[in-house]
Amino acid sequence: MYVHLGAGTSVSTRNIIGVFDLENSTLSKTTRNFLKGAEDSFCVTDVCEGLPKTFVIWEKNGETRVYISRISSSTLQKRLKSLSLGL
């Protein structure tokens, strides 16, 4: 199954490690350092087309990507839940 993250980008749900709210999670210095490191390593893909709300950590075959999305984390989590339930 795939979930749409924005800007025509969809990723496999089985490779999603986590979905995080940018506003709340970036209060942590550790999270800010993680995102900075991902950006410095060119592992960040911006698919937000506007104000970013969420970041999604995705991994496949040892490759990690961070997607920045304008779709709220709660909406993405609902989509993931409905996909896993087959709704």
User: Each residue of 46-84: pLDDT tens digit?
Assistant: 998 889 999 999 999 999 999 999 999 999 999 888 877
Q: Determine how β-strand 2-6 pairs with β-strand 9-12.
A: antiparallel
pTM across the whole model: 0.90
Q: Determine how β-strand 63-69 pairs with β-strand 44-46.
A: parallel
Q: Cite the DSSP H helix spans in 1-87.
A: 22-25, 29-40, 73-85
pLDDT of residue 9: 94
